[in-house]
Structure 1
Amino acid sequence: MSPIISIISIASVSPLGNDPKMIWENYLKDEHLFIQKAFGGQTAFASVLDDDSKEKVALLKQSDIKYKALDNSVLFAMVASREAVKKANWTKDDLFGINIGSSRGATELFEKHFQEYLESGKAQTLASPTTTLGNISSWIAHDLQSEGPEVSHSITCSTALHALLNGVAWLRAGMVDKFLVGGSEAPLTPFTIAQMKAMKIYAKEEQEYPCRAFDLEKKRNSMILGEGASVCCLEMGESENALAHIIGIGYATEILEHNISISAEADCFQKSMKMALKEASVEEVDVIVMHAPGTIKGDSSEYRAIERVFGESLPLLTTNKWKIGHTFGASGMLSIEMALLMMEHDYFIDVPFLSKQNTTKSIRTVLINAVGFGGNAVSILLRKT
């Protein structure tokens, strides 16, 4: 049996809030958290940080003159990382690694610097160092005064769960005893929104639930972007203080027929879920937190993959993207957070506009899926301690 990894703590900033009680209360409400917002010359749905999280980010930015030049993708991750490490009781004397990535990185700063370049023909001194993707883990290490390895990466929308995979690999290799992993995304910028609209996957309709994530009957794509960061602290072994144990990991990449789609039955998800279930049966899984971005092909292909793997033993299925949208590289860890909260409260968060599912059984084992452009799928199996 593979060595078990413990999730010791988790923290986030997102439209749901930054406090576990507040986040859970928001999950219990059937309302989405989208607003219509202007992005340059266009208007679009989006999901933004709650006011308390915005204040925490603003205070961090003002706390050090060096932080004033940083992008929100870095600041979001720093706020969440401080809280996660505090909850885990880690100190700067603990040797822990950091792997926190982002799909898009410093989108707001990059667009700002590039616009200034177009207008003046010159780039600012800090344009390059503040927009590199490695910024995130490096600045977190600086802020926490840690001395372990630092890794930042982009594996598009599965970035956060790939960070978790990397943390597990380092821990099982015995290279460190602790790892901080997660993802951060601040994608609410005019060019990023325009890119999503260009692919014709962005929600247009004003309806009670504009993002129809996991609605297999929808006639239009309905993805909406959100912002946020979520990180968790991992330790080797079955810790008594663990929120949950990681009992299975899976990953796969499939050969694509198109740059932005996966196969009709999501071969990558079938492979990643089967790998995650290597030491557990399909009957043991109580809930799957789906990737389900709200697109017609993305949602349906993932569901068909789940049907192929689980057959008649279909678990409860859910997603949080109908409520907070797609946070790109941060989305997988926000799904982990949702799974941990459902296990803690032993309560299933359903998708309100779909048929209610039978929720009589206790929630002890949850599978979390994520996939990104390029068909990079990850599945993580958690069990309540």
Structure 2
Amino acid sequence: MKKRVVVTGMGIVSPIGNSLSDYAKNLKNMEIGIDRISSFDTSNLPVKIAAEVKDFKPEEYMDKKLAKRLDRFSQFALAAARQAVEMSGISFEGIEERVGVLVSSGMGGFLTLSEQNDVLKERGPERVSPFLIPMILINMASGVIAMEFGLKGPNFTPVSACATSVHSIALGSMLIRHGYADVVLVGGSEATIAPLPIAGFASMKALSTRNDEPKKASRPFDKLRDGFVMGEGAGVLVLESEDFAKNRGAKIIAEIKGFAMNDDAHHFSAPDPEARGSSKAMRMAIEDSGILTEDIDYVSCHATSTPAGDEVELKAIENVFGDRVRNIFVNSTKTLTGHLLGAAGVVETIAAIIQMNNGFVHGMPNLEELDGPDYFNIPRKTTETNIRNFVKNSFGFGGHNASLVVGRYE
């Protein structure tokens, strides 16, 4: 019999708040974290906007010496992990070998790589940092979390572009279900707001160029959407087996009820226009959860604000839920945070858990004219509602699809 997997802690670093309380407040108030880029000169770039993390102080979460040896994405990850562990109230003493870490990233230490490449060109190879390699490794976020907390259980990092943190949640849940671990810290982190990634995504025509109206640039499902807005941040969940959490008297805040993963096998970056893979992933996740489609009240979408992706996801949702799309709430947190790439899935899962536990769905402030059937229930304003269970979707370049079913613990 497979073990039930529950959530006991959450931590967040995001463009709309670096604590759960701030994040929750700003979700409900529909605060938009997108603005002109402040961290470097954008004068020669076609895109000048992003959703940057503000007022982040790594020394609040780690030793200053360690902070200097970590890329920004690893700093974010460790900060989110500390928050999640503190919320869970867990002590790792005596259980170190039964605690795993799966905290992932789509692109890893890109800021360090870019900076050190400049050092190489301008000052020569002897001035390149000896910490370059460990700082850029995508698995270093999981590694440093394990080292800081002394965790000796399964530790690895799936890499699947923008689906990667939902893959981490699913794989961490598998470890618990099948008895390989009692506790797993899961999530994702990303910090790639830099000239080269901006230029690369812009060359693909993937980014919004609404430079003069940054607050209106991320507009999932809207007819005037013209691409996504790059964001940064991290999210971490503490997952435990139900028995382990109950035995230590933990407060359980949600349950990971089901998950599924597949691939479109269609195109480098474009989704299957028939939504076959994404539809199948949702169906499999619901089947895995043991509940019915009638028990789902909300879909937290991947919806990045790209023309093709948003359209296909609405098609997939209708394929799965049929006429029930009139009653299920649908939204995308990227309207507020931009697209956090490898961290998007977990940051949005945390948003969905907050909404479920506080009885609301946040609105979509930039949805002026829906590019799709008008019977979809996509709120423009924050709306009070009762959410029993939700589906969280994440999709990544390479055709990766990942879906979760998360619900109230009963």
TM-score by length of 2: 0.87
1:106-125 matches, within 5 Å, as 106-122=109-125, 123-125=128-130
Name 2:252's counterpart in structure 1: 242
- 1:316-337 deviations in Å (ceiling 9; x for gaps): 1001101110001110001111
Q: Is the 8 A contact 2:268 2:399 kept in 1?
A: no
Name 2:236's counterpart in structure 1: 231
Name 1:269's counterpart in structure 2: 278
In 1, the alpha carbon distance for the partners of 2:298 and 2:41 equals 36
In 1, the alpha carbon distance for the partners of 2:162 and 2:193 equals 15
In 1, the alpha carbon distance for the partners of 2:65 and 2:384 equals 53
Q: Which amino acid aligns with 1:133?
A: I
Name 1:222's counterpart in structure 2: 227
In 1, the alpha carbon distance for the partners of 2:365 and 2:274 equals 25
Name 2:373's counterpart in structure 1: none
In structure 2, which of residues 343, 346, 356 is the aligned counterpart of residue 343 of structure 1?
356
- 1:233-254 deviations in Å (ceiling 9; x for gaps): 0111275621111111111111
Deviates most, 89-98 or 108-117: 89-98
Q: Identity of aligned pairs, percent?
A: 27
- CA gap of 1:284–1:79, structure 2 versus 1, over 3 A, is same
CA shift for structure 1 position 99:
0.5
- CA gap of 1:33–1:269, structure 2 versus 1, over 3 A, is same
Deviates most, 113-122 or 36-45: 36-45
Q: Is the 8 A contact 1:103 1:155 kept in 2?
A: yes
In 2, the alpha carbon distance for the partners of 1:187 and 1:360 equals 35
1:147-296 matches, within 5 Å, as 147-205=152-210, 206-207=212-213, 209-215=216-222, 217-218=223-224, 220-237=225-242, 239=245, 241-256=251-266, 258-278=267-287, 279-296=290-307
CA RMSD, Structure 1 to Structure 2 (Å):
1.9
1:24-43 matches, within 5 Å, as 24-37=24-37, 38-39=40-41, 41-42=44-45, 43=47
In 2, the alpha carbon distance for the partners of 1:209 and 1:177 equals 44
Deviates most, 290-299 or 35-44: 35-44
Deviates most, 156-165 or 117-126: 117-126
- 1:101-132 deviations in Å (ceiling 9; x for gaps): 10010011000111222234414322222211
- 1:152-173 deviations in Å (ceiling 9; x for gaps): 2321101111111111111122
CA shift for structure 1 position 64:
4.0
Task: Answer yes or no: is 1:5 the counterpart of 2:30.
Answer: no
Q: Is the 8 A contact 2:359 2:384 kept in 1?
A: no
In 2, the alpha carbon distance for the partners of 1:64 and 1:354 equals 43
CA shift for structure 1 position 360:
7.0
3-state SS in 1 of match to 2:236: strand
Aligned length: 378
Name 1:364's counterpart in structure 2: 388
- CA gap of 1:45–1:283, structure 2 versus 1, over 3 A, is same
CA shift for structure 1 position 191:
0.6
CA shift for structure 1 position 2:
5.1
Q: Which amino acid aligns with 2:404?
A: I
- 1:57-99 deviations in Å (ceiling 9; x for gaps): 24446x2423312100000000111111121122232331000
Q: Which amino acid aligns with 1:346?
A: G
3-state SS in 2 of match to 1:129: helix
In 2, the alpha carbon distance for the partners of 1:188 and 1:287 equals 31
Q: Which amino acid aligns with 2:343?
A: A
Q: Is the 8 A contact 1:6 1:242 kept in 2?
A: yes
CA shift for structure 1 position 210:
1.0
Name 2:374's counterpart in structure 1: none
3-state SS in 2 of match to 1:82: helix
CA shift for structure 1 position 265:
2.8
- CA gap of 1:156–1:286, structure 2 versus 1, over 3 A, is same
1:287-306 matches, within 5 Å, as 287-306=298-317
3-state SS in 2 of match to 1:277: helix
- 1:198-228 deviations in Å (ceiling 9; x for gaps): 110111123351111122x23x522001110
Name 2:139's counterpart in structure 1: 134
Which residues of structure 1 form unaligned runs of 5+?
none
Q: Which amino acid aligns with 1:267?
A: R
- 1:293-324 deviations in Å (ceiling 9; x for gaps): 11000111111111111110111100110111
- CA gap of 1:367–1:186, structure 2 versus 1, over 3 A, is same
In 2, the alpha carbon distance for the partners of 1:12 and 1:39 equals 27
